[in-house]
Structure 1
Amino acid sequence: MLNKRSFGSNSCKETDTRCYDDTKRNYEYRKERNCEENTDDDDNDTSLLNETRNEVIRIMEPCTVERCLEAIPSFSEYDILVRTEAVALSGSDLHYYETGGKSYPGMTLGHDATGIVQEVGCSITKIRPGDRVVLESGLACGICDYCKKGCYNICNNLIFNGFLRKYQVHPADLCHKIPDDVDTIEATLTQTLALGCQACFKAQILPTTNVLVIGAGSTAISTALCARAIGAGNICVASTLKEPLETIEKTFNFNCLHYEADMQYCTILECLYSVLHDWPDAVINCAVSEKTMNLSVMALKPCGVCVLAECDAECACFNAMDVLMKNLKLIPSFRSINMFPTALHLIEDGKAPIGRLIANIFQWQEVEHAFRKALHESNVGNRKVIVRCAEPEEDETFKKEDCKT
């Protein structure tokens, strides 16, 4: 009988405890000794904090960040213990920050993260303590019908592991080694780039493909970067958002098309043709709405493909007759499947300088300021805010000019 995967549980047999590093046993010994030596509760709490440094970010009330102290998690023979290095604040984090977490008390924050391996379970052979890893945060059950088909991104029991904490336990098979030439700060955006990679592969982009990317967010940028890395013939990024488009054009040197929301379709299509000098073979829609769907259907060549990557609206009415008569394919691209290695490869080779999206890096003590800044960026632009959870070394300052180009 199949059982669900156990994440973060202490399932190793007693005889396997020798596989764990001495650090865990030393920690337990020091904690007991501190409790015996310190009689004052406040002193005990301070000592425990100094020993574990396992602070956790909680948001129970809207726009109120709290730092709590938790024990170091235990883990199974297939898990690893990670010391979090950096976290890129994502849309789910900001939604939680705005609304508060009382409705979702078990949810953990920080899903785009990198870390350094501290300990490994008994059965882990490919990852060692000291390895730098980027973490795929979605935890699939592994036994539902979708997981068996390889579609773990739509697992019936999918949950997310958060890394806005000093230490976290995670399944080793969802941890990807960061290449030596890639900075851990830039690697936090691996998930962002993976979304773009999957959208491009769904569209089956080739060097002869003309690509229209609709949207001006981080997913649209990562999609355009991946299409360029593949060698797509012509790429155009179109959006109604003027300032984010200007950032894309200046930072990544893409051909961009700004159009007004109330502009006539014929006018938009004329402008699009003047940029691409042809009609697109593929449209990757990162801002699905009625306007963008009709624009996609009208612009595509016959037998073209439209990938739906992100939504601006839940419902969108478009011309189904054009889809049928032009034999168009509409393909969804939701989350990502096995795209982290590809994304890391593109970053390492300098073909996808996703680190240029980073707007600010905040230290752990500045996490509340980081949330406010990230919320501002999400409202006005497309850049990312990073929280550095570990103390930086003197020579480890991240600079955007050091990104792979």
Structure 2
Amino acid sequence: MGKDNLTAVLYKINDLRLEQTEIPQPKDDEVLLEMSCVGICGSDVHYLVNGRIGDFVVTTPMIIGHEAAGVVSKLGKNVQNLKVGDRVAIEPGVPCRTCSFCKHGRYNLCREVIFCATPPVHGNLRRFYTHAADYCFKLPDHVSLEEGALLEPLSVGVHACKRAGVTLGSQVLILGAGPIGLVTLLVAKSLGATRIVITDLVQSRLDVAKELGADKTLLVDRNDDEPTLVKKVHALFGDEPDITIDASGAEASTRLAVLATRSGGTAVLVGMGPPEIKLPLVQALAREIDIRGVFRYVNCYPAALELVASGKVDVKRLITHNYDIKETHEAFETARTGRGGAIKVMIHCDRS
């Protein structure tokens, strides 16, 4: 195994360092993983650039990374669901398992959840990492480790579509064609949505959305006022969407989710923007728009894995850039700037 545990540690804003850390030993119910792939999430970039997301603030050095897959290299003494050599996707949030949220199956709301790379919890962008065995999901032989790492954002899309009630015949508007908007598109199609329109400010992302199965795309013009945008959306549907999923978090997007959705429909808010925004709530009340929040995912990894394993969803197109862990700084710069049409930037941790 050697002693190489190269690790990406965020010290403070714009201070990300590669350094050696101790190889941890698995606790009784954990496994030691030789990490393979870690995707860069928007939240990782946010911590790097801003040092915080809402109330979660980087105050001490934190290992970054949470979209990950690896290979089991050692078992804790109680582990029975895995064996050495298994290739696994890592669900990065481990809840307490005993609070009322956990017992009612909503463990994503557990107040004691230990979630990778959410201050002060360390993440998994390193060569070796330990994780709870029951939050590791064995990958079938034909599913790659890169796809395994992408189960994390895909699970967000699964949870968003569950919260939205997407089903056969749904008319779905997705606001934002970044990674989360695109995985939501893939999941909505797999669930039988018959018309999906996706919006963005960047044409190249809309081009990818079209490749992935969007029926129509809308390049948002910053100069358009809200009534104009609503008219453009409705024209693309030839009607009104009964479900809108905001994967942006920008105030303008969240407002559009309320304004463009059919009366009696559902607006699901996935993207996290400013802590407080101005919303047309009278519109929502008078037209009985259900506004639902999404926080990460819950009980979604098995469904996400099945979608990929069955071939119903192909997430590989989302990976636009690959880097070795030694190139972590360059990888984050690509993710931060979006250069080269970056959608999902993947870091490979295997020793090279």
Question: Which TM-score applies when normalising by structure 1?
Answer: 0.78
SS state of the match for residue 71, structure 1?
coil
Distance 2:224 2:255 in 1: 13
SS state of the match for residue 237, structure 1?
strand
Q: Superposition pairs for residues 190-229 of structure 1, below 5 Å?
A: 190-229=151-190
Match status 1:383 vs 2:343: yes
Question: Residue 60 of structure 1 corresponds to which residue in structure 2?
Answer: 11
1:262-283 Cα offsets, whole Å, 9 max, x none, are 3133322332223212211111
Q: Superposition pairs for residues 71-86 of structure 1, below 5 Å?
A: 71-86=22-37
* Percent of aligned pairs with the same amino acid: 29
Amino acid at match of 2:32: L
Structure 1 pair 313/69, CA: closer, same or farther in 2 (3 Å)?
closer
SS state of the match for residue 88, structure 2?
strand
1:106 positional shift: 5.0
Match status 1:121 vs 2:76: yes
1:177-204 Cα offsets, whole Å, 9 max, x none, are 1122111112211111110111101111
Question: Which TM-score applies when normalising by structure 2?
Answer: 0.89
Return 5+ residue gaps in structure 1 as ranges: 1-26, 28-50, 393-405
Amino acid at match of 1:389: C
Q: Superposition pairs for residues 136-175 of structure 1, below 5 Å?
A: 136-161=91-116, 162-175=123-136
Amino acid at match of 2:78: S
Structure 1 pair 259/373, CA: closer, same or farther in 2 (3 Å)?
closer
1:116 positional shift: 0.2
Question: Residue 398 of structure 1 corresponds to which residue in structure 2?
Answer: none
Of 179, 187, 194 in structure 2, the residue corresponding to residue 233 of structure 1 is 194
Contact 1:289 1:315 in 2 (8 A): no
SS state of the match for residue 60, structure 1?
strand
Computing the radius of gyration over CA atoms, which structure comes out larger, 1 or 2? 1
Amino acid at match of 1:352: V
Structure 1 pair 315/240, CA: closer, same or farther in 2 (3 Å)?
farther
Equivalent pairs counted in the alignment come to: 342
Structure 1 pair 324/246, CA: closer, same or farther in 2 (3 Å)?
same
Mean alpha-carbon deviation: is it higher for 217-226 or for 145-154?
A: 145-154
Question: Residue 120 of structure 2 corresponds to which residue in structure 1?
Answer: none
Question: Residue 64 of structure 2 corresponds to which residue in structure 1?
Answer: 109
Distance 2:184 2:340 in 1: 20
Contact 2:334 2:342 in 1 (8 A): no
1:243 positional shift: 3.7
Distance 1:322 1:143 in 2: 40
The one of the two structures with greater contact order (alpha-carbon pairs below 8 A, sep at least 6) is 2
Contact 1:239 1:257 in 2 (8 A): yes
Amino acid at match of 1:385: V
Of 139, 148, 151 in structure 2, the residue corresponding to residue 187 of structure 1 is 148
1:173-232 Cα offsets, whole Å, 9 max, x none, are 110111221111122111111101111011111111111111121111111110001111
Question: Residue 294 of structure 2 corresponds to which residue in structure 1?
Answer: 333
Structure 1 pair 280/337, CA: closer, same or farther in 2 (3 Å)?
same
Q: Which has the higher helix share?
A: 1
Amino acid at match of 2:247: C
Question: Residue 259 of structure 1 corresponds to which residue in structure 2?
Answer: 220
Q: Superposition pairs for residues 356-395 of structure 1, below 5 Å?
A: 356-377=317-338, 383-391=343-351
